[in-house]
């Protein structure tokens, strides 16, 4: 197993004791699971953890001055959206052993797929006149811990934005619109955006209650998801690089399109379905409607 050789001293792992991340789900607080079923992009992720740091021992072991600054930072990366960000940063001014509370919220609209959360202990600013082996550059990493969670569920698996279609180029009486951009190798969550027209109260309210929909909301959401699936398949079939023997990377637009295609058409080949769409587009539209089980029908 490969190990990273750092060009400076690092403290013993015993100088930092990090408790597991806790995930807040409404009034409930649970240890961060490996996967979160039933998640959708309307749900922001609220997390917290405690980290005990022995600042005095760290400075001594790394040959840093007694008052050298340290900081805890939390950064995340999402395979689904290709986005990354920093959600917490706390300077550690105390010199002794202290407990630090990290609380963060990650916007659900910015993530998808596997979410990696890195907790880091760093030197936050450049230091002058220190020992040659001491970590003196800004950002020097003294300790790190990675947690991961896979975000998955039956709700929409790409970003959703509720906007006013009036000022846009979209028809102001339309209820929703799926934007698809990028190549088949692009990050899936960065290539798809479902726009919901806030002027359509039935649809906008259905999405606001997507986590706990009423019967009427479920019917609206079923219609939207069916149309989204149809749009994605039609977009994929219109591209020459969407073929049976293609090898798309994990979490890419091509992989997502292929997954939707397989759910709708099973073992049928892309070539066969593309020809069927060219020969009989109306029948193909009906077959796709049946495949997605619109309004709760069997798929």
Residue among 125, 127, 11 nearest 59 (CA): 11
Q: In 3D, which of 161, 297, 277 has the Cα closest to residue 226?
A: 297
Q: Are strands 28-31 and 35-36 parallel, antiparallel or unpaired?
A: unpaired
pTM for the predicted model, two decimal places:
0.63
Query: How confident is the model over 268-285, as pLDDT tens digits?
Result: 999 999 998 899 989 988
More confident position, 224 or 156:
224
CATH of domain 13-151: 2.60.40.3880
CB 264, CB 231: distance < 8 Å: no
Of 9 and 94, the one with more pLDDT: 9
Alpha carbons 115 and 76: distance in angstroms, whole number: 7
How many Å is the Cα radius of gyration of the chain? 24
- Three-state SS across 50-96? EEEEEHHHHHHHCCCCCCCCEEEEEEEEECCCCCEEEEEEEEECCCC
Chain-wide mean pLDDT for the chain?
Answer: 87
The 10s digit of each residue's pLDDT in 52-72 is 999 999 999 999 998 899 999
CB 92, CB 70: distance < 8 Å: yes
Res 2 pLDDT > 60:
no
Residue 31: pLDDT over 70: yes
Domain with CATH 2.60.40.3880 in the chain: 13-151
pLDDT band at 154 (very low <50, low <70, confident <90, very high): very low
């Amino acid at each position: 197993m490969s190990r990273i050789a750092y060009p400076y001293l690092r403290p013993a792992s015993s100088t930092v004791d990090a408790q597991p991340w806790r995930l807040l789900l409404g009034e409930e607080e649970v240890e961060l699971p490996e996967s979160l079923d039933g998640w959708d992009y309307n749900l922001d992720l609220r997390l917290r953890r405690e980290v005990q740091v022995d600042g005095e021992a760290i400075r001594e072991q790394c040959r840093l001055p007694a008052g050298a600054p340290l900081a805890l930072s939390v950064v995340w990366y999402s395979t689904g959206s290709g986005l990354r960000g920093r959600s917490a940063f706390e300077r550690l001014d105390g010199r002794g052993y202290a407990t630090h509370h990290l609380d963060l919220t990650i916007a659900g609209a910015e993530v998808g797929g596997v979410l990696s959360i890195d907790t880091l202990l760093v030197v936050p600013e450049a230091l002058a006149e220190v020992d040659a082996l001491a970590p003196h550059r800004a950002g020097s990493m003294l300790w790190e811990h990675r947690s991961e969670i896979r975000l998955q569920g039956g709700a929409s698996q790409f970003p959703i934005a509720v906007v006013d279609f009036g000022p846009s180029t979209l028809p102001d009486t339309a209820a929703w619109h799926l934007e698809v951009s990028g190549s088949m190798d692009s990050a899936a969550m960065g290539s798809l955006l479902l726009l919901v027209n806030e002027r359509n109260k039935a649809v906008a309210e259905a999405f606001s209650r997507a986590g706990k929909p009423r019967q009427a909301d479920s019917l609206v959401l079923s219609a939207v998801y069916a149309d989204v699936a149809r749009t994605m398949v039609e977009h994929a079939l219109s591209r020459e690089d969407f073929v049976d023997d293609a090898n798309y990377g994990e979490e890419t637009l091509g992989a997502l399109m292929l997954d939707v295609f397989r759910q709708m058409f099973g073992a049928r080949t892309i070539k066969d379905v593309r020809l069927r769409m060219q020969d009989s587009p109306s029948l193909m539209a009906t077959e796709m409607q049946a495949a997605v089980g619109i309004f709760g029908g069997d798929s």
